Amino acid sequence: GQCRMVCPTGAIIIKNETEKLWDALYDKSKRVIAQIAPAVRVALGEEFGKKPGEVTTGKIVAILKKLGVEEVFDTSLSADLTVVEESNEFLKRYNKGENLPLFTSCCPGWVKFAETRYPELKENISSCKSPQQMFGTVLREAYKEKDAEDLRDTYILSIMPCTAKKAEAARPEFSHDGVREVDLVLTTQELSIMIKEIGIKFDEVEEEAMDMPFGTGSGAGVIFGTTGGVTEAVLRRVLKNKFDKEDCNIIFNSVRGLDSVKEAIVNIDGNEIKIAVVHGLKHADNLIKQIKSGEKKYDLIEVMACNGGCVAGGGQPQPKMITRETRALRSKGLYDIDKTNQLKDAEDNYIVKNIYNGLLKNKTHILHTNH
């Protein structure tokens, strides 16, 4: 009913910013384009009677187009950029033995926690912008000329699984001359509110494909939405041509699943790389304490603030009632997309190559920041 629409299970819409999107869509001076995070596509359907994990990417694209969004792209693509940047950063640090362990930086909930609780870890957190911000950065470059030509401003919308992504997009370092890299972040829940408000019948929406060129992400970019996904994505790149498929699968399996701390040790050319994957800030806090006391030692640590990773973000459907089963099903949805994607890792993605040879030529530094 009406109430559930506005206050789903009494939880977590901190503020409803859907008005802002309507304003932008009605503004003729703006070209609204969007990116969709991986986790959104395996959860939005639950607001419309679908099972957790059911993939609704094509419907989300079609709905955003109906609302007036001109082009719809895939955050998995910028996750691929993150994989390239972060694995380069890791190998550089590892070879020099500098600022290890390297902590991932794609979850703003974790970054904020670390800044507050463990400021001394600043140098250990990856300098990579998150996929959301990398996408904003690339799109601003890509639309510069077009904006000048048709005298419109490109307005960049993100559909994300959490409100921490709103706070991330608002950080001062992600604005340049008063222009934000990402103009507006709406959560999965906020998108569902808009769909209900205008009475779109979700079941009847015919699926549409994402737009080119930025609508193509690899499977590695898609699994970013679940715990262990970032690590697996980086490992797919780092282990390529060093291990056979079976050994790779054994290693990948050790970072999958919902155990609160997962570990993997990989031997590359005689060097041992120790990896930990942790999700949930309480577990991250424990792990950091163990590292500080010398009880544990790692080279690379993936941290996601939410239990299960972004699939279980606070902006997803039913955040307060989410069960282990729901987490597992939504994750499975992402691994299923990965399975049927021809592009397995970031470097298979020819769009990524084109971006490096074109838009980002000699300026990959714009993908990095000082947290």
Sites of contact with ligand SF4 (CB under 6 A):
107-109, 161-162, 164-165, 304-306, 309-310, 313
Is 149 noted as a catalytic residue in this protein? no
* Closest residue to bound ligand SF4 by CB: 313
Asked if 165 is an active-site residue, the reply is yes
Under a CB-based contact definition with an 8 Å cutoff, are residues 344 and 211 in contact? no
Active site residue 107: no
Distance of closest approach, residue 109 Cβ to ligand SF4, in angstroms:
3
Q: Which of 19, 98, 115, 173 is catalytic?
A: 173
310 is catalytic: yes
Rg (CA), the chain: 20
**Residue (338 or 348) nearer to ligand SF4, CB:** 338
CA 94, chain centre distance (Å): 25
* Residue 101 or 108 having the CB closest to ligand SF4: 108
What is the DSSP pairing of strand 271-279 with strand 184-187? unpaired
Q: Is 263 a catalytic residue?
A: no
Whole-number minimum distance, CB 306 to ligand SF4, in Å? Answer: 3
CA distance 101 to 275: 9
Number of Cα atoms under 13 Å in the Cβ half of residue 138? 33
Residue among 265 and 321 whose Cβ is closer to ligand SF4: 321
In the residue annotation, 246 being an active-site residue is answered as no
> Catalytic site residue 144?
no
Which residue do the tokens 């992504």 mark? 165
Catalytic residue among 47, 86, 181, 302: 86
Q: How far is the CB of 192 from ligand SF4 (least distance, A)?
A: 16
The backbone torsions φ and ψ at residue 10, rounded to the nearest 5 degrees and listed phi first, read 70, 10
How far is 162 from 190, CA to CA, in rounded Å?
10
Short-list 118, 128, 190, CA closest to 158: 190
Between 137 and 163, CB nearer to ligand SF4: 163
Active site positions, annotated? 86, 89, 106, 126, 165, 168, 173, 310
